[in-house]
Structure 1
Amino acid sequence: MPHSSGSLPTRWLRTFQPVAAPRLRLVCFPHAGGSASFFRTWPQQLPADWEVSAVRYPGREERIAEPCLTSMAELAGGIADGLAPHMTPHTVFFGHSMGASVAHEVAALLAARGVAGPAALLVSGRAAPHRLRRLSTGDLTDEDLLATVTRLGGPGAEVLGDPELRDLVLPPIRADYGLLEAYVAGPKAPAVDLPVVAYFGTDDPGPTPDDVRAWSELTSVRCEARAFPGGHFYLVPHEAELIRDIRERLSVLASRV
Structure 2
Amino acid sequence: MTAQRYRTPAMRAFHEAPQAASRLVCFPHAGGFASYFFPLSRALAPAVEVLGVQYPGRLDRSEEPAVEDIGVLAEEAAALIADDPHPPPTLFGHSMGALVAFETAKRLTRDHGITPAGLIVSGMRAPSRPRRRPRDWDREEELLDEMRLLSGTDPALMEDEELRELFLPVLRSDFRAVNAYPGDDTVLSCPVTAFAGDEDPVTPDGVHHWATHTSAEFTTRSFPGDHFYLKGFPPSVTAAVREALSRS
In structure 2, how many angstroms separate the alpha carbons of the residues matched to 1:9 and 1:120?
25
* Contact 2:3/2:14 (<8 A) preserved: no
Q: Which stretch of the first structure deviates more once superposed, 63-72 or 234-243? A: 234-243
Q: Do the aligned partners of residues 14 and 155 (structure 1) sit closer, same or farther apart at CA in structure 2, a change above 3 Å counting? A: farther
Residue number in structure 1 paired with 2:227: 232
Deviation at 1:74, TM superposition (A): 1.4
Overall identity of the aligned pairs, in %:
38
Residue number in structure 1 paired with 2:121: 123
In structure 1, how many angstroms separate the alpha carbons of the residues matched to 2:110 and 2:241?
27
Which one-letter code corresponds to 1:243 in the other structure? T
* Contact 2:30/2:174 (<8 A) preserved: yes
* Contact 2:23/2:87 (<8 A) preserved: no
* Contact 1:194/1:220 (<8 A) preserved: yes
Q: Do the aligned partners of residues 5 and 48 (structure 1) sit closer, same or farther apart at CA in structure 2, a change above 3 Å counting? A: closer
Deviation at 1:139, TM superposition (A): 4.9
Note the 1:164-203 alignment, pairs <5 A: 164-185=162-183, 188-203=184-199
Give per-residue Cα distances to partners, 1:225-248, cap 9 Å, x unaligned.
000111111112763210112113
SS at match of 1:94: strand
SS at match of 2:210: helix
How many residues are aligned here?
A: 248
Cα RMSD after superposing both structures: 2.1
Match of 1:151 among 149, 152, 159: 149
Residue number in structure 2 paired with 1:109: 107
SS at match of 2:207: helix
* Contact 2:31/2:171 (<8 A) preserved: yes
* Contact 1:23/1:90 (<8 A) preserved: no
Q: Aligned pair 1:205/2:201, yes or no?
A: yes
In structure 2, how many angstroms separate the alpha carbons of the residues matched to 1:12 and 1:139?
26
In structure 1, how many angstroms separate the alpha carbons of the residues matched to 2:159 and 2:72?
31
Give per-residue Cα distances to partners, 1:124-168, cap 9 Å, x unaligned.
011110013244123551122112112211144542221111111
Unmatched segments (≥5 aa) in structure 2 = none
* Contact 2:29/2:96 (<8 A) preserved: yes
Deviation at 1:97, TM superposition (A): 0.5
SS at match of 1:52: strand
Residue number in structure 2 paired with 1:241: 236
Q: Aligned pair 1:34/2:32, yes or no?
A: yes
* Contact 1:26/1:53 (<8 A) preserved: yes
Q: Do the aligned partners of residues 47 and 81 (structure 1) sit closer, same or farther apart at CA in structure 2, a change above 3 Å counting? A: closer
* Contact 1:96/1:123 (<8 A) preserved: yes
* Contact 1:134/1:184 (<8 A) preserved: no
Match of 2:16 among 5, 15, 18: 18
Which one-letter code corresponds to 2:44 in the other structure? L
Q: Which stretch of the first structure deviates more once superposed, 136-145 or 121-130? A: 136-145
Unmatched segments (≥5 aa) in structure 1 = none
The TM-score, its normalising length taken from structure 1, stands at 0.89
Match of 2:215 among 220, 231, 237: 220
Deviation at 1:41, TM superposition (A): 1.3
* Contact 2:137/2:143 (<8 A) preserved: no
* Contact 2:94/2:121 (<8 A) preserved: yes
In structure 2, how many angstroms separate the alpha carbons of the residues matched to 1:156 and 1:193?
39
Which one-letter code corresponds to 2:192 in the other structure? V
* Contact 2:92/2:98 (<8 A) preserved: yes
In structure 1, how many angstroms separate the alpha carbons of the residues matched to 2:22 and 2:137?
43
